[in-house]
């Protein structure tokens, strides 16, 4: 019998063959395996040479190792860069390392029996066909016949080879004798192993018997318990399915009952739950195959009913009786016009959210726009309908346009007061409704609706059916849309009011606009803007921009009128010193806060770029006229000006007052003010320096006194410019809008555009001030040039005479005295001294020219001495006028002229 069959363990013990396992029932214990398969590779089957195989490197088969999948495939190329790098440093290392002695290979001593065997026979690559190998064995001598050598050495060579073969065989026999005991030792181990295997087979047989007993008494009953548990679970599942089918059979009657009591949310909740059960728990039940489509159709009908109810409710609540009330008389604590049934609205919104119908916000916007139109029309007809014919045949815009052409400021203000008040009441109604809608949307996915009770709550233990479940993305979109709807409604109110307000700026209607009207309308607009911000949390600028545009148009008309007025008063000006009382003008200017500190009697430092003005030394008696009532006293300085300056200052005061009343157009008004100053300066320059006053004012010529008065008048206007600019800046800062309209401000919160506009305003005033300065300098230069021409004329006509002074110098001094009389009651003392100092320099320069021309370079010349006496006479005249320093008018000073030639 084969050894494998005798050692095969089975469930009943050791069988006599491999087929013994099939005699009993097939169980998990019926596995068997033969001993060689256990000791050797089971996949190879029987191997006959297992016990006869030689031990060595070929005892086991060599199989290629499979590359691991979790490691990368590393090739020799990956180390190429490293090898090049190391090779560079290795060559350096070898050059600097000490040389080592060459290593000698270790040669094992040959055995005593095989020491006579030539080494060539032990070479693994031994090949007799190779010439070198053949020559090493058969050592033939050159020069001797090959045949003779073979015959003579063959016996000796054969004997030598036989001896070497015997030595090898002796070594092999010796080696076999040394290893024979290992074979017998292996056989002894094999017998012991067989004894242990028999004991193991016996133990396995006992173990299998015990396992069979455990299987029958413990495992099988446990398996039956699990089967019964699963059968009970299946039966319970079938019962639940039947219960759900019973409840679904009652769905449609329950929905009808809920719709009868207007519990739309409960009906929608029931439909949604039923559809979910049909799609998940009762999928594939043929008896309910049409129920889903029926419920979907009912759900669509409910959605339409809910949307219609929402539209009806919104229209009825927003379109209630219009409240005719003035905006200035509104009581924000009164909320009787905003009360309504919020529970009904919440129920409808919850139903729409469950229906996934999100278009109800568009219905709110449409209903609000319709209510805005009807409210505006009703208010306009109630206010002005009786005063205009054919009211029903015209549009609301044309109706207001006709009223704007006839209405006074009080009537126009009353119309807009009631209109804005009624719209604010309507806006509050819409705001309350929008607040309820926002609360309902924000409470989605959190709140529950008590009207959505149904039978599934008690039987399916699903409490989530009562809540409104809206996707977060859709919920966020609804919040944004709801806010945009309210913003659009507020924009509609502002834009429609702006459209009506624009009618006041068209055609002849603009002539009826007054400053008080713009101020009151601005108050109403601010009330409307505040309410819009309160409702929509964002500024609505349509009405404010319209009012600002109307104010700009009013300012433009006002500015054109003032330019014409300034041109007319300048053309009528006689350019003589004003004799009117300046108190009314000073009173109007003093009412402006930024100018209240200008009109004091104490002498204060002049403003920047203003030359220092003092009373000087030795005040002339004629300066007593400065205290007259016809001059302007500004910070201790007296200004004698022409008549038109008072009127122009009144106009500038009107601009400042207009800025205080209309702070929203501060920049535009400031630019117009700067433009008016430039226009005034330009016209004065044309009339005085350009001699235009000869044609329009009836003057025969432009005298030095006219030039002096014009210079002093322009100088005083320039003195007011910093205060006017300060007033515009202060007025704006105190009334800085908080509603988002871009304005100019120097506060940290100002935008770059606002700061840039304010810089433009300041630059325009600086330009106006510079133009006035240049004009004043040109007038001063003009006076000096006129006097210079007189000086040159008299010096050219001078002839030495026996007496001093000559006629030419008498006439020259007389002209200078007239010059002094022309400016002494107009200019301050420092200006007069500065004028005569310049005239003195011109005179000395002209004298030098005459000296060179007439050849009087020698101071000892008779004519030179005569000319020195004439100059001394001139100095005495200047000393009497007290306009020059005494040291500059001595005879020695004049004699030094010849040294500077």
* Local confidence band at 57 (pLDDT 50, 70, 90 cut-offs): low
Question: Rg (Cα) of the chain, in Å, rounded?
Answer: 62
Q: What is the CATH number of the domain that holds 889?
A: 1.20.1280.130
**Side-chain half-sphere of 529: how many Cα atoms within 13 Å?**
21
Angle between helices 704-734 and 752-796 (to 10 degrees): 170
Write the secondary structure of 419-457 as one string of H (helix), E (strand) and C (coil).
HHHHHHHHHHHHHHHHHHHHHHHHCCCCCECCCCCCCHH
pLDDT (0 to 100) of residue 50: 56
Backbone φ and ψ of 634, nearest 5°: -125, 110
Q: Which of 460, 50, 421 is nearest to 281 (CA)?
A: 460
Backbone φ and ψ of 63, nearest 5°: -120, 140
Average pLDDT of span 287-307: 75
Q: Do 349 and 478 belong to one domain?
A: yes
Q: Which of 93-107, 612-626, 654-668 shows the lowest per-residue confidence on average (mean pLDDT)?
A: 612-626
What SS3 state is found at 632?
strand
Average pLDDT of span 422-430: 85
User: Which strand (E) or helix (H) includes residue 590?
Assistant: helix 583-590
DSSP string, 554-579: HHHHHHHHHHHHHHHHHHH----B--
> What residues form DSSP beta bridges with 378?
none
Q: Which of 555, 536, 552, 529 is nearest to 482 (CA)?
A: 536
Q: Do 528 and 560 belong to one domain?
A: no
Q: What is the pLDDT of residues 140-188, one digit of tens each?
A: 777 677 777 777 777 888 888 888 888 888 888 888 787 777 777 877 8
Q: Do 815 and 875 belong to one domain?
A: yes
| CB neighbours of residue 619 within 10 Å | 12
Rounded Cα distance, 266 and 639, in Å: 90
Domain contains 747 = no
Q: Which of 667, 772, 669 is nearest to 719 (CA)?
A: 772
Q: What is the pLDDT of residues 517-553, one digit of tens each?
A: 888 888 888 888 888 888 888 888 888 888 888 888 8
The most confident of 258-262, 354-358, 368-372, by mean pLDDT: 368-372
Q: What is the pLDDT of residues 445-482, one digit of tens each?
A: 664 444 433 333 333 333 333 456 677 787 788 888 88
Find out whether 711 and 776 touch, Cβ atoms under 8 Å: yes
Q: Do 712 and 563 belong to one domain?
A: yes
Residues whose CB falls within 8 Å of the CB of residue 224, separated by 6 or more in sequence, listed in order: none
Q: Do 358 and 479 belong to one domain?
A: yes
Tell me the residue range of the domain where 349 lies: 304-446+470-536
Q: Do 354 and 501 belong to one domain?
A: yes
Rounded Cα distance, 892 and 776, in Å: 35
pLDDT (0 to 100) of residue 702: 87
pLDDT (0 to 100) of residue 861: 76
Domain contains 772 = no
Q: Do 379 and 511 belong to one domain?
A: yes
Find out whether 540 and 665 touch, Cβ atoms under 8 Å: no
Domain contains 59 = no
pLDDT (0 to 100) of residue 203: 92
pLDDT (0 to 100) of residue 61: 64
Q: For residue 748, is pLDDT > 50? A: no
Rounded Cα distance, 295 and 289, in Å: 11
Distances in whole angstroms, Cα of residue 87 to Cα of each of 77, 95, 99, 751: 15, 13, 18, 69
Q: Do 586 and 692 belong to one domain?
A: yes
Q: Which of 684, 651, 686, 691 is nearest to 570 (CA)?
A: 684
DSSP string, 673-695: HHHHHHHHHHHHIIIIIT-THHH
Rounded Cα distance, 768 and 718, in Å: 8
Distances in whole angstroms, Cα of residue 161 to Cα of each of 157, 442, 469: 6, 113, 107
Q: For residue 849, is pLDDT > 70? A: yes
Higher pLDDT, 470 or 831: 831
Write the secondary structure of 135-155 as one string of H (helix), E (strand) and C (coil).
HHHCCCCCCCCHHHHHHHHHH
Q: For residue 306, is pLDDT > 80? A: no
Instruction: Give exposure, 405-440, as e/b (b: 16+ Cβ within 10 Å).
Output: eebebeebbbbbbbbbbbbbbbbbbbbbbbebbbeb
Q: For residue 705, is pLDDT > 70? A: yes
Give the chain's domain count: 4
pLDDT (0 to 100) of residue 463: 35
pLDDT (0 to 100) of residue 565: 92
> What residues form DSSP beta bridges with 637?
634
Domain end (from 716, 737, 758): 737
Instruction: Give exposure, 36-72, as e/b (b: 16+ Cβ within 10 Å).
Output: bbeeeeeeeeeeeeeeeeeeeeeeeeeeeeeeeeeee
Q: For residue 564, is pLDDT > 90? A: yes
Average pLDDT of span 845-870: 82
* Local confidence band at 93 (pLDDT 50, 70, 90 cut-offs): confident
CA 767, 768, 769, 775 dihedral sign is positive
Rounded Cα distance, 357 and 399, in Å: 41
Distances in whole angstroms, Cα of residue 443 to Cα of each of 271, 448, 484, 580: 22, 9, 19, 77
What SS3 state is found at 633?
strand
What SS3 state is found at 747?
coil
Rounded Cα distance, 275 and 271, in Å: 6
Average pLDDT of span 772-787: 91
* Local confidence band at 11 (pLDDT 50, 70, 90 cut-offs): very low
pLDDT (0 to 100) of residue 606: 42
Find out whether 432 and 536 touch, Cβ atoms under 8 Å: no
What SS3 state is found at 639?
strand
Average pLDDT of span 554-574: 89
Find out whether 419 and 376 touch, Cβ atoms under 8 Å: yes
Supply 690's token pair: 């350009």
Domain end (from 536, 566, 590): 536
Average pLDDT of span 806-817: 89
Residues whose CB falls within 8 Å of the CB of residue 795, separated by 6 or more in sequence, listed in order: 808, 812, 846, 847, 850
Write the DSSP symbol of residue 55: P
Rounded Cα distance, 263 and 437, in Å: 19
Q: Do 894 and 855 belong to one domain?
A: yes
Domain contains 764 = no
Average pLDDT of span 380-402: 72
Q: What is the pLDDT of residues 479-518, one digit of tens each?
A: 888 888 888 888 888 888 888 888 888 877 777 888 888 8
Residues whose CB falls within 8 Å of the CB of residue 747, separated by 6 or more in sequence, listed in order: 733, 736
Q: Which of 762, 737, 733, 758 is nearest to 747 (CA)?
A: 733
For strand 13-14 and strand 632-634, is the pairing parallel, antiparallel, or unpaired? unpaired
Rounded Cα distance, 809 and 458, in Å: 130
Q: Which of 26, 89, 35 is nearest to 197 (CA)?
A: 35
Residue 708 CA, chain-centre distance (Å), reads 59
Q: Do 364 and 510 belong to one domain?
A: yes
CA 278, 284, 286, 290 dihedral sign is positive
Q: What average pLDDT does the chain have?
A: 76
* Local confidence band at 677 (pLDDT 50, 70, 90 cut-offs): very high
Q: Which of 331, 327, 271, 279 is nearest to 299 (CA)?
A: 271
Average pLDDT of span 435-448: 71
Q: For residue 114, is pLDDT > 60? A: no
Domain contains 775 = no
Average pLDDT of span 859-882: 85
What SS3 state is found at 476?
helix
Rounded Cα distance, 369 and 376, in Å: 11
Q: Which of 636, 623, 684 is nearest to 821 (CA)?
A: 623
Rounded Cα distance, 468 and 268, in Å: 11
Q: Do 485 and 339 belong to one domain?
A: yes
Supply 254's token pair: 């329950």
Domain contains 356 = yes
Rounded Cα distance, 668 and 661, in Å: 14
Domain contains 474 = yes
* Local confidence band at 18 (pLDDT 50, 70, 90 cut-offs): very low
User: Which strand (E) or helix (H) includes residue 132?
Assistant: helix 131-137
Domain contains 349 = yes
Average pLDDT of span 61-82: 78
Q: Do 529 and 562 belong to one domain?
A: no
Q: Which of 34-38, 256-260, 722-726 shows the lowest per-residue confidence on average (mean pLDDT)?
A: 34-38
Q: For residue 305, is pLDDT > 50? A: yes
Domain end (from 225, 240, 255): 240
Rounded Cα distance, 601 and 608, in Å: 20
């Amino acid at each position: 019998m084969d050894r494998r069959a005798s050692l095969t363990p089975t469930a009943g013990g050791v069988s006599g063959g491999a087929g013994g396992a099939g005699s009993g029932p097939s169980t998990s214990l019926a596995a068997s395996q033969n001993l060689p398969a256990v000791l050797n590779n089971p996949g190879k089957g029987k191997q006959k040479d297992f016990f006869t195989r030689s031990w060595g490197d070929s005892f086991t088969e060599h199989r290629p190792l499979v590359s691991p999948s979790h490691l990368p495939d590393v090739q020799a190329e990956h180390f190429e860069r490293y090898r090049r790098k190391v090779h560079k440093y290795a060559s350096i290392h070898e050059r600097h390392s000490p040389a080592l002695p060459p290593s000698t290979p270790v040669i094992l001593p040959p055995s005593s029996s095989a020491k006579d065997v030539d080494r060539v026979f032990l070479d693994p690559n031994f090949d007799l066909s190779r010439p070198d190998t053949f020559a090493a064995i058969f050592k033939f001598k050159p020069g001797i016949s090959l045949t003779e050598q073979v015959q003579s050495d063959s016996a000796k060579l054969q004997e030598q080879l036989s001896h070497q073969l015997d030595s090898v065989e002796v070594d092999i026999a010796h080696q076999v004798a040394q290893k024979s005991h290992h074979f017998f030792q292996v056989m002894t181990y094999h017998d012991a192993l067989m004894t242990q295997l028999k004991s193991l087979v016996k133990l396995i047989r006992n173990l299998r018997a015990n396992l069979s007993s455990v299987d029958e008494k413990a495992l099988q009953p446990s398996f039956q318990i699990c089967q019964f548990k699963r059968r009970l679970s299946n039966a319970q599942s079938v019962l639940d399915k039947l219960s759900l089918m019973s409840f679904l059979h009652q769905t449609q009657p329950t929905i009808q009952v809920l719709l009868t009591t207007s519990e739309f949310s409960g009906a929608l909740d029931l439909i949604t739950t039923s559809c979910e059960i049909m799609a998940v728990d009762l999928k594939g039940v043929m008896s309910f195959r049409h129920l889903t489509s029926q419920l979907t159709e009912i759900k669509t009908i409910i959605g339409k009913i809910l949307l219609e109810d929402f539209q009806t409710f919104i229209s009825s609540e927003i379109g209630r009786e219009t409240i005719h009330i003035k905006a200035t008389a509104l009581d924000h604590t009164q909320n009787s016009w905003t009360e309504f049934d919020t529970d009904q609205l919440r129920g409808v919104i919850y139903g729409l959210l469950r229906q996934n119908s999100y278009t109800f916000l568009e219905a709110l916007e449409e209903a609000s726009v319709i209510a805005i139109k009807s409210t505006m029309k009703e208010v306009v007809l109630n206010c002005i309908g009786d005063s205009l014919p054919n009211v029903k045949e015209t549009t609301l815009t044309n109706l207001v346009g006709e009223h704007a052409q006839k209405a006074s400021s009080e009537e126009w203000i009353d119309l807009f007061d009631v209109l804005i008040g009624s719209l604010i009441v309507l806006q509050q109604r819409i705001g309350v409704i929008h607040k309820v809608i926002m609360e309902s949307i924000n409470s989605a996915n959190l709140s529950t609706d008590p009207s959505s009770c149904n039978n599934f709550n008690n039987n399916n233990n699903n409490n989530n059916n009562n809540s409104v479940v809206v996707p977060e993305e859709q919920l966020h979109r609804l919040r944004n849309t709801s806010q945009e709807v309210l913003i659009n409604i507020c924009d509609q109110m502002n834009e429609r009011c702006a459209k009506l307000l624009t009618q006041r700026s068209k055609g002849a209607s603009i002539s009826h606009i007054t400053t008080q009207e713009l101020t009151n309308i601005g108050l109403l607009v601010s009330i409307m803007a505040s309410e819009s911000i309160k409702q929509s949390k964002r500024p609505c600028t349509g009405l404010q921009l319209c009012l600002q545009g109307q104010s700009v148009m009013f300012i433009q008309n006002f500015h054109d009128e003032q330019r014409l007025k300034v041109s007319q008063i300048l053309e009528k000006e006689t350019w003589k010193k004003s004799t009117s009382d300046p108190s009314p003008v000073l009173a109007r200017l003093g009412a402006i806060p930024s100018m209240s500190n200008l009109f004091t009697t104490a002498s204060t430092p002049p403003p920047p770029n203003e030359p220092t003005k003092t009373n000087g030394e030795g005040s002339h008696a004629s300066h007593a006229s400065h205290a007259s009532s016809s001059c302007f006293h500004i910070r201790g300085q007296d200004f004698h000006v022409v008549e038109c300056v008072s009127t122009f200052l009144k106009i500038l005061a009107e601009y400042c007052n207009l800025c205080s009343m209309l702070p929203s157009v501060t920049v535009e008004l400031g630019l117009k003010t700067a433009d008016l100053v430039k226009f005034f300066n330009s016209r004065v320059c044309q009339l005085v320096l350009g001699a235009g006053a000869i044609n329009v004012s009836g003057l025969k010529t432009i005298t030095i006194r006219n030039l002096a008065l014009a210079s002093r008048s322009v100088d005083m206007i320039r003195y007011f410019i910093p205060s006017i600019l300060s007033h515009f800046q202060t007025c704006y800062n105190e009334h800085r809008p908080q509603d988002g309209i871009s304005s100019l401000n120097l506060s940290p919160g100002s935008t770059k555009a606002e700061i840039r506009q304010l810089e433009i305003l300041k630059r325009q005033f600086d330009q106006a001030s510079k133009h006035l300065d240049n004009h004043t300098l040109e007038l001063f230069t003009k006076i000096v040039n006129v006097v210079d021409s007189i000086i040159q004329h008299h010096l050219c006509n001078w002839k030495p005479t026996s007496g001093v002074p000559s006629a030419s110098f008498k006439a020259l001094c007389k002209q200078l005295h007239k010059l002094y009389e022309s400016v002494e009651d107009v200019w301050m003392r420092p200006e007069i001294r500065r004028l005569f100092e310049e005239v003195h320099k011109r005179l000395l320069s002209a004298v030098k020219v005459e000296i060179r021309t007439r050849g009087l370079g020698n101071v000892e010349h008779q004519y030179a001495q005569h000319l020195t006496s004439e100059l001394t006479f001139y100095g005495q005249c200047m000393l009497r006028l007290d306009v020059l320093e005494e040291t500059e008018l001595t005879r020695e000073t004049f004699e030094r002229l010849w040294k500077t030639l």
